[in-house]
Structure 1
Amino acid sequence: MTLITVNDVELDVQISGAGPTVLLVHGWPDTHACWRHQVAALNAAGYRTVAPDLRGFGASGKPEDLARLTVGDHVGDLIGLLRHLDVEKAHLVGHDWGSALVQQVAMAAPELTSSLTCMSVGHAAAFYGSGLEQREKSWYMLLFQFRGVAEQWLSQDEFRNLREFIATHPDLDEVVERMRDPKALSASLAIYRTGVPPEVLLARMDDSAPLPPVPTMGLWSTGDRYLVEAGMVGTENYASGPWRYERIDGAGHWMQLDAPERVNELLLDFLPGRGEHR
């Protein structure tokens, strides 16, 4: 692991392999470790992987003023990281919140983007347009807005509610151990508190800004407890470049851990040639 200072915060980043760069961005409540199976496969296939712990997660810096931590900060960190590493272009791969972030990176810095892979979470407008079923599944986003209350609910009785909420996480015990640090738990929830505040949850999503014209792939798994398929399928309406959708049967929300061989197969089939950019 390498500590890299970007935008006045230290990011813990796993960098390995040689070849075109693939940026792997995790979601909640994860770290770079959720990509371990993809890192091995991509490196073996001739790609360099860059897998950071987001600000507030894992071993990366955790800001004191969580109320000011925004999605834009994360996007700025990721763009700053690519530029710090002198990356000309990267294949952007994100899961959960990481998917939302790499989409924002691609829209903010299309010149850095070779391709885009969105796992679990599709375009914001497609997500908000997915109907009542998705709103019902998103109940926890409102709970997470309540500072102190959410932390107490998740951690009480030896993290019983957190364990039940992410019961299908393959690394459940590791997540709980990380979240025993109160600062880590609050820092991880900050992305919900500024990224999807109540007024966004209750409003109609009118932002239909398209994704940049690069090859884009959406992956959704049939065992996802938190997201409906329509949010990913509907992302095609906002893709300006070639679009590909793949459904992964039998895997839960953390598809890269539940079905690593299938995810690796799809990534290696989708990513453009290994000789493009370094």
Structure 2
Amino acid sequence: MSTTRTISANGIDLFVREAGRGPLVVLCHGWPELSYSWRHQIPVIAAAGFHVVAPDMRGFGASAAPTDISAYTIFDTVGDVVGLVQTLGEKQAMVVGHDWGAPVAWHAALFRPDIFTAVAGLSVPPPFRGRGRPLDLLRQSGITNFYWQYFQTPGVAEAELERDVARTMRIVLGGRGLSDPTAAMFVQEGKGFLGHAGAEGPLPHWLSEADLAYFTETYRKSGFRGGLNWYRNIDRNWELTAPWQDAQIHQPSLFIAGSNDAVVTGLIGAKRVNELERVLPNLRRKLIVEGAGHWVQQERPDEVNEALVAFLRESMRAR
């Protein structure tokens, strides 16, 4: 059974779900998600002998949402996790991230190996810092309708996503009605981010109406701007991480993704998954969950939990 509270860390208030006692494990969610996305992992990891803390990340849910776009860089988000560890009175932790939370976890391990002794990333491979700003490279390759680009102008995506939050969450989390999930990443002229799919039809087996209602009600209160501001720092993050060009993460690491996740099935994603050891020389396991999509820890919690608990226990023994 987890409890909730609000913790002050890195100068902002973070709402957290918490359970268990023992070595600290921090779980970082992605977009458009919440600490609730870890509901299947928190009790299992706690029962395995760990102190689990899952925050609503900066800009999401019941956590603080600074107004400035520049307050959502990778330094700010990693700083929140560092601050959380310190506020909890710990010197070290293991960190796990999914979707946007994965870059936070990877960079936390990269920036502060003295604090983060092991790292697991779900769905998004570790940082391969490319030859130029990501949004510039998209434009140079002739791509102008990728969803990252659509999210850049403040107010545009917010207006679309907030028009009918229940419909938005049903489409984004519940599936976008496409045989090719990769196509959902490209925005058709005049149709917006949600234009590919309707909200009709049953939810997938792993997402209940009660789950959807929780996400919907929370996003009705918070809006989408905080989470979208993470995307508005993609190029800035590339600039800020220049000192870590070609750096490796030497702590024990784990990668998990669904075989049907468009993030890892595309040309770039598949290449990065095949080259994980370039950045992760101490990669303990690469788990591709057959038949799972992007929301892997919610879709296939048993397999994800088994892999995470085994990895966390092994990492503790290695310490």
TM-score, with length taken from structure 2? 0.74
Q: Could you tell me whether the CA contact under 8 Å between 2:10 and 2:84 is conserved in 1?
A: no
Deviation, 1:227, is 3.7
Q: Which residue in 2 is equivalent to 1:103? A: 106
Q: Does 1:177 align with 2:230?
A: no
Q: The residue matched to 2:90 in structure 1 has which SS?
A: coil
The answer on 1:252 being equivalent to 2:259 is: no
Quote how far apart the aligned CAs of 1:196 are. Answer: 4.7
What is residue 116 of structure 2 aligned with on the other side?
113
The separation in 1 between residues aligned to 2:318 and 2:276, in whole angstroms, is 27
Pairwise CA distance, 1:159 = 6.0
Where structure 2 has 5 or more consecutive residues not aligned to the other structure, the ranges are: 176-203
Q: Distance in 2 between matches of 1:144 and 1:80?
A: 28
Cα RMSD (Å): 3.1
Task: Map Cα deviations across residues 162-210 of structure 1 (whole Å, 9 max, x no partner).
Answer: 64344338344433333324x531111111111357x96xxxx996433
Equivalent residue runs for 1:153-164 within 5 Å: 153-156=160-163, 160=167, 163-164=170-171
* Residue 214 (str. 1) matches residue 251 (str. 2): yes
Distance (Å, rounded) in 1 between the aligned partners of 2:30 and 2:248: 20
Larger Rg: 2
Residues 276 and 83 of structure 1: CA distance in aligned 2, closer, same or farther (over 3 Å): farther
Counting aligned pairs with the same residue, the percent is: 34
Q: Could you tell me which residue of structure 1 aligns to residue 93 of structure 2?
A: 90
| Higher RCO, 1 vs 2 (CA within 8 Å, ≥6 residues apart) | 1
Question: Structure 2 matches for 1:43-122, cutoff 5 A?
Answer: 43-122=46-125
Matched positions, count: 268
> Which amino acid in structure 1 is aligned with residue 154 of structure 2?
R
Contact 1:21 1:277 in 2 (8 A): no
Q: Structure 2 vs 1, CA of residues 77 and 159 (structure 1 numbering), >3 Å: closer, same or farther?
A: same
Q: Which sections of structure 1, spanning at least 5 residues, go unmatched?
A: none
CA distance in 2, matches of 1:49, 1:19: 9
C-alpha displacement at 1:239, in angstroms? 1.1
C-alpha separation between the residues in 2 aligned to 1:69 and 1:114? 24
Structure 1 pair 146–159 and aligned structure 2 pair: CA distance change class (3 A): farther
2:277–2:283 contact (8 Å) kept in structure 1? no
* Distance across 2 between alignment mates of 1:239 and 1:158: 38
Distance 2:258 2:131 in 1: 19
| TM-score where L is the length of structure 1 | 0.84
8 A contact 1:208–1:238 mirrored in 2 = no
1:263 maps to what in 2?
A: 304
- Cα gap change, 1:161/1:45 in structure 2, threshold over 3 Å: closer, same or farther? closer
For residue 186 of structure 1, what is the amino acid of its counterpart?
R
Matched, 1:124 2:127: yes
Q: Which residue of structure 2 aligns with residue 223 of structure 1?
A: 260
